[in-house]
Amino acid sequence: LIENVLPRLQASLQSHLPVAYLAEHGGYLCIHRWFGAALRRTSGELTAEQARGLAKQGLWAQQTLTGERSELTMLPHEITAWERISSGVERIPSADEHSGSAYDRCVYRRKGYCFVSRAEEQVKAAKIVVTTHAGLLDDITGIHSLLATIDRRLILDAELLEEEIARWSSSELDLTRVVGLLNTIGTELPDGRYQGLLALAAPALRENGPGGLSTTPTVGKSEVDARMRAWFQSLRHASNAVSNMFSCFSQLLEEFLQHGSGTHGSGREKGRGRNNERADQPLRLTGETRNLGAWTDVERAWQQTAQRLQSVIDLVHEVERMLLTTQHSHHRLDVGSGEEDSVATELAAIAQKLLEQKRLGQQALTLADSDMVYWLRMPPSPPPFVQQTAQQRQSVASTAATEQQQAAVPVLYGQLVQIAPLLKRTIFSGDAGIILSGASLSVDNNFSFCRGRFGLENDVCPALSVVTEHHEQTLLYLPNDVPEPNMPQYQRSLDEMLIQLATALEGQMAILYTSHAALRSSYAAVKPVLEGRGILVLGQGIDGSPRQLWQVFSSQGKVIVLGTGNFWDTVGEINQVPVCTVITRLPMPVLNDPPIAARADHYSDQLHQLTVPVASLRLRRALNRLAWSDSRRNAIVLFDRRLLSKEYGSTVLHTLPRCSQRQGAVSHMPETILDWLTASGSWE
């Protein structure tokens, strides 16, 4: 947008308006943290992923002119390294009201090196500001908003707005994270030495200490005084309380699974979701959850945990004040540049994170916030060893010791249910003129579904539609002699069709699934046959990431890719549109997923008011990129007979742009598609 679209637009209008980009709050490199205590070893040895992430960041930091996180490509396990040096903590209020925030004190900001400050100055001077959905929410909900006064807003990709807000509002309370925060503050090691930020700042914290920071990653008992030993004891008590609480979470979830997941927390569609008996089945926290026997233990454990966490938060603020007072007492010329200040900044950031975790637990277990949905679920398991890439296997091996030390326990999740109230308070507030633009906002040529989701009224928000037609580019083929997705022989019929069609087309296909299990089943069935015929078969999560698979797809002719999950949404890396896209089944939302179930509670007819519209829009969004991102002639196979056998099938089909269409037997499909690809014009 900034590098191509806006320059071309300004050239055509003969304008030279200044343009600026504003990233999310955690989207910049914080120089204060980079040269401060964030990179000091405070919680044990770095994992291989963290070390690799920091190495990447070290090379990038020497070259970047903007400090924007988007310039870096990091694997999921490496992102924890970014959290050590990212922005977003600079404006946390100091425990010492006279010291101001880290942003106020930062010497790098005053000398012009701060990437956050530079970006803010560019935004203030710009006439056009570009940001992300999350970046807009970060700014407009903050105290120091730069965008709230802009009275004209163009929201691109508005069809993704609800998902982005849900992701932005999501929070997690998990054992590893909380214990990691506590250990970063300070912990006593088995050999009797101390580690963490408290140990790092021991020379400045103990009575009559020399000041400054420790030159070693750990300190001995002789280097801490009685007050500091009491702090470490408080941290140990908090860690034990947190561990006990998560043990109670495990007992609660286990009782829920043993008594049948269909009896609790699935809204009106209790028990309708697939695979209710799975160990990773979520437990949505509702009033009914209180009837489980383990709930009393959970409440008792949480009360103790909340008290222990608050004690830690209080002691962190006390230590922060002491360090800032120490810095002032030394009469430094550059306030905000001292070693004590860097530790104080990290302590303020951790205190804020612990406070957020405490609030999440409090709201979830008291069910105090009706705008949110909360649930427990076991963390996802890594893929089987045989299905991992070499890099993934190395990652799992490097963290195996840590995982063995801690038994798997549930994670507590929270997410906003309805986005309309938040939009009215933030993006849609005031008199700003707002345009919501997207390629998949209407269901069956009607905007009422998205209007309702966004909380917009017809008389204040007109809707305009640009008619798109692909009847001369795309053939929709609907097989009429296949089993419905939940019927026996469906998977076998699908695999046989894929073999026949991929052989006829010599690859050049993308196949989208709604579950990893279905993808793996097809992969195992079709790969030996097709690769014996010289056609490469690539599976997401088996042979690489979506980006890697699309790179291979674009560089080789005889290849098919199998994808699921984010393959439906994040396929912007496509350089070459597939000749044929196969949709194995409609992407219906899973109604036993707690956020979906909570939203479904607001509808009297969940199938027609929620499930079908969501599936229709997601299908349209995926095909916009897979089939219609360029003008190449192509075919789409909708291998879900419900489009023909169910009355809602017409709604889904009318949500798609006009295409040439054929219904017929699976056996006729390869010949029909080949005829289409070699013909011209439309088939009406």
Query: Per residue in 114-135, pLDDT tens?
Result: 999 999 999 999 999 999 999 9
Query: What is the structure's pLDDT at 44?
Result: 67
Q: What mean pLDDT do residues 350-360 have?
A: 97
Evaluate whether 640 touches 476 at the Cβ level (below 8 Å): no
pLDDT at 275: 41
Residue 179 and residue 213 share a domain: yes
Q: Where are any strands of DSSP class E within 63-188?
A: 128-131, 152-155, 171-173, 187-188
pLDDT of residue 330: 57
Question: What is the tens place of the pLDDT at every residue in 9-35?
Answer: 999 999 999 999 999 999 999 999 999
- Are 298 and 250 part of one and the same domain? yes
| Residue 158 and residue 232 in one domain | no
* Mean pLDDT along residues 376-404: 53
Confidence of residue 357 (pLDDT cuts 50, 70, 90): very high
Number of neighbouring beta carbons within 10 Å of residue 363: 16
**Residue 194 in domain:** yes
Half-sphere exposure in the Cβ direction for 561 (13 Å, CA): 31
Question: What pLDDT shows up at residue 264?
Answer: 52
Q: Is residue 657, in this structure, part of any structural domain at all?
A: yes
Residue 684 located in a structural domain: no
pLDDT tops 80 at residue 266: no
Query: Distance of CA 452 to CAs 159, 162, 419, 609, Å?
Result: 13, 12, 10, 10
On the question of pLDDT at 279 being above 80, the answer is no
Q: Determine which helix (DSSP H) or strand (DSSP E) holds 678, and give its type and residue range.
A: helix 669-678
User: Would you say residue 389 has pLDDT above 50?
Assistant: no
pLDDT at 217: 85
- Specify whether 117 is located in the same domain as 255: no
Predicted local distance difference test score (pLDDT) of residue 233: 97
Q: Report the distance separating Cα 672 and Cα 240, nearest Å.
A: 66
In a domain, 319, yes or no: yes
pLDDT value at position 552? 92
In a domain, 309, yes or no: yes
Q: Is the pLDDT of residue 403 over 80?
A: no
pLDDT of residue 576: 84
Indicate if 393 and 425 belong to the same structural domain: no
Answer yes or no: do 320 and 300 share one domain.
yes
Q: Tell me what pLDDT residue 402 has.
A: 44
Contact 271, 262 (CB under 8 A): yes
| Predicted pLDDT at 663 | 97
Q: Which of 38-42, 269-273, 323-327, 355-359 has the lowest mean pLDDT?
A: 269-273
Last residue of a domain, one of 350, 383, 416: 416
Q: Is residue 441 part of a domain?
A: no
> Which of residues 368, 385, 416 is at a domain's end?
416
Q: What is the tens place of the pLDDT at every residue in 190-236?
A: 999 999 999 999 999 988 878 888 888 899 999 999 999 999 999 99
pLDDT for residue 336 is more than 70: no
Residue 615 banded pLDDT, cuts 50, 70, 90: very high
Whole domain around residue 611: which residue ranges? 474-678
Q: Is 609 helix (H, G, I), strand (E, B) or coil?
A: helix
Q: What is the mean pLDDT of residues 625-643?
A: 94
187 and 116 within one domain = no
User: Are both 97 and 246 inside the same structural domain?
Assistant: no
Best mean pLDDT range from 305-314, 557-566, 591-600: 305-314
Mean pLDDT for the chain overall: 89
pLDDT over 90 for what percent of the chain?
72
Question: What does the pLDDT read at residue 180?
Answer: 93
pTM of the model: 0.88
Domain boundary among 416, 448, 465: 416
Indicate whether 123 and 154 sit together in one domain: yes
The reply to whether 457 falls in a domain is no
Is residue 70, in this structure, part of any structural domain at all?
yes
List, for residues 65-85, the tens digit of each pLDDT value.
999 999 998 888 888 889 989
Inform me whether the pLDDT recorded for 274 exceeds 50.
no
- Contact in structure between 535 and 560 (CB atoms under 8 Å): yes
Element (H, E) at 350: helix 339-366
Q: Are residues 191 and 154 located together in one domain of the fold?
A: no
pLDDT for the residue numbered 460: 67
Residue 391, pLDDT above cutoff 50: no
Does 292 share its domain with 176?
yes
Which pLDDT tens digit goes with each residue over 437-446? Answer: 998 999 998 9
- Residue 153's DSSP bridge partners are 434
Q: Are residues 381 and 423 in the same domain?
A: no
Number of structural domains (the chain) is 3
* Residue 265 scores a pLDDT above 70: no
pLDDT band for position 325 (cuts 50, 70, 90): confident
